[in-house]
Amino acid sequence: MNNRWILKPKAPEAFFDKFPEINAVTLQLLFNRGIKTQKEIDEFLGPDYDEDLHNPKLLKDMGKAIKRVKMAISKKEKITVYGDYDADGICGATILMDALKAIGAEPGIYIPDRNKEGYGLNFESVRFLSKQKTDLIVTVDCGVSDYKEVELANSLGIDVVIIDHHTIPPKLPKAVAIINPRRKGDQYPFKELSATGVAFKFAKALFNASNINNEREKWLLDLVAISTITDRMVLLGENRTLVKYGLVVLTKTKRKGLKALLKLIGKDGAKVEKSERRKFNIFGLNARDLGFMIGPRLNAAGRIDHANTSFELLNSSDENEIGRILDKLDAINKDRQNLCDKIFKEVCAKMGDYPKDKIIIDGSSDWLVGIVGLIAGKLAEKYHRPALIYHKGETESDGSARTIKSFNIIKALRKAGDLLSECGGHAMAAGFHVKNENIAAFTKRMTEIANREIKNNDLIPETEIDMDITNFQFLISNFQINYESQSVSQRIKLDWRELYEVIEDFRPFGPGNEEPTFLLRGCVMKDLRVVGKNGAGHLKTRIDCGGKEFNCIGFGLGGWYDKIKAGDKIDIVFNLTLNEWNGSRNLEFKIVTLRQAGMDSEGAL
């Protein structure tokens, strides 16, 4: 599939003049991320836990929630934490359990079975909790769309406090309190918290109201970091501060289950050191480890087994039990990977090289509810169009939707809301329930909406480029770059190592703060080969940039091997990374995409 290259516009000269003490590369990268004021720059480059976090009291209904929980404790009422089955819900439930226990409660826990009960509160679980004499349900990562279920709880004498972060539905449940920064009229300045992030704010407010010092709350940040990364929340503003400090806490976590998990993935040697440049440097652990190694294991249990397994890992102190749980999670995760690969290939075989419609909708009774979201995500990425994948039940089907940035999937689903039993989620990801008798009409409606609203250009993937550094001067003697912008009257010298340090200042990377990308035109290909296990198809090469040679790796770009040869000139979009191998540390280009030199902006493979 072709790929459109989008070079972000240069920052205006006035922006550079305003901050003469900051090098131009850093300023351009900040500008690209919408960080333009002194306060925003200070918070981004030097996040401060005590200064940059917002007061939890600003969240609507926070006072009501604290009051109701404290009343439950004083009356010795039974409190049940009701968590979602993904990593965000599991981490959030763990934080709530820790916080409630810290102030004298003895809460119970309920996490629904994804494949039997579906998402959120359900009538059966509410009735079950009523029989268990629950007086107060505190949800996390669910509840805001569960109007009827909360109504049932109320009729059974159960109060409900909802802690959630999902898009607000047209009609809110009649709960005692609904804590969600996305609520209309909510004064909380930052709207992009994970559900665990909102639970952390609740815990912080609860500790403040109970005169518990903030050292205890900081030990909860490991879970906030995991949830924020695994739930793909924006890594700007408050989330950036929470994740940076959360990574520090994770390196020294007190949770035996997390310690064992870090050891399993080879990250138990992670450490934190101070430096002149930064308040702290984290070695051996980064956001990618959370997103690709920790998160999938925590999520796997809820996808094809039961999320209680992951919850037990986070809360157990028995090392033998933890070992058993980790073995089980690892096996479940491998099963999940195999199932996903099988189903993905099955759907792709139906689609061919290019689907005829601007949306993909498919389902089967053989596909587990827990993995349809993963399949939808992979399809949306491969074909660059929204994908709705569902498990077909006996009378009703449960599905997940993933989309492209130009098509708001939750808005689209609500346009077909009369055909759905329920839907909820975000602009980029959502879930839905549809009666089988309505599947054909729902498919037709969604296809019409997508074909009408999605433009042909929206179906072309885009690679956003932070800076074109082709005209930088590469000085061979010390590998310096002289940055000389046409619109900026300053000359900044950075050698390659210093450029890498600038990039390091921007960690952790994620949505809203993607790893910086650079463009080099007319590089000379020196040699190339395809590497990777089981024919993975990664391109390994060396390129010459103004007399300086760099090793490059292009993951998934093995298809270029038969299209280019040594001596060819190419344009590349890349990340500057540090390759550590056998004690050696060398800079390396991680190629994002490439094209023959001189091709237009859509000339990539």
Residues 303-315 pLDDT 10s: 999 999 999 999 9
Q: Report residue 472's pLDDT band, with 50, 70 and 90 as the boundaries.
A: low
In the prediction, which pLDDT does 534 show? 61
Task: Give the CATH class of 4-32+463-596.
Answer: mainly beta
CATH 3.40.50.150 fits 352-459, yes or no: no
Residue 486 pLDDT: 40
Cβ burial, residue 465 (10 Å; 0-12/13-18/19+): buried
- Region 111-137 average pLDDT: 96
At residue 535, the pLDDT reads 56
DSSP run (H or E) holding 344? helix 319-351
Cα 164 to Cα 42, 66, 322, 419, 570: the distances in Å are: 29, 15, 29, 25, 48
Cβ neighbours of residue 212 under 8 Å, at least 6 residues apart? 102, 103
Mapped onto helix, strand or coil, the DSSP state of residue 567 is coil
**Contact residues for 9 (Cβ-Cβ < 8 A; gap 6+):** none
Residue-wise burial string across 373-389, b where 16 or more C-beta atoms lie within 10 A, e elsewhere? bbbbbbbbebbbbbbbb
Inform me whether the pLDDT recorded for 476 exceeds 50.
no
**549 C-beta neighbours (distance < 10 Å), count:** 12
Per-residue model confidence as pLDDT tens digits over 254-279: 999 999 999 999 998 888 877 667 77
pLDDT tens for 506-517 read 999 999 999 999
Core vs surface per residue 480-497: b (16+ CB within 10 A) or e: bbebebeebeeebebebe
Q: pLDDT tens for residues 419-428?
A: 999 898 889 9
pLDDT greater than 90 at residue 2: no
The predicted-structure confidence for 191-240, as pLDDT tens digits, reads as follows 999 999 999 999 999 999 999 987 899 999 999 999 999 999 999 999 99
Angle between the 24-32 and 496-504 helix axes, to the nearest 10 degrees?
Answer: 40
pLDDT bin (cut points 50, 70, 90) of residue 280 is: confident
pLDDT of res. 601: 55
Pairing of strands 467-468, 518-531: parallel
Question: For residue 425, what pLDDT is reported?
Answer: 86
Find tokens 């480059």 and name the residue.
Answer: 45
Q: Which two tokens stand for residue 459?
A: 């179906």
Q: Rounded to the nearest 5 degrees, what angle is found at the Cα of 250, between the Cα atoms of 40 and 91?
A: 90
Give the C-alpha separation, 298 to 265, whole Å.
13
Task: Report the C-alpha dihedral over residues 32, 34, 39, 44, rounded to 10 degrees.
Answer: -60
Domain ranges of the chain: 4-32+463-596, 51-313, 352-459
Domain 51-313 adopts which CATH fold? inorganic pyrophosphatase (n-terminal core) (3.90.1640)
Instruction: Retrieve residue 546's tokens.
Output: 């103004």
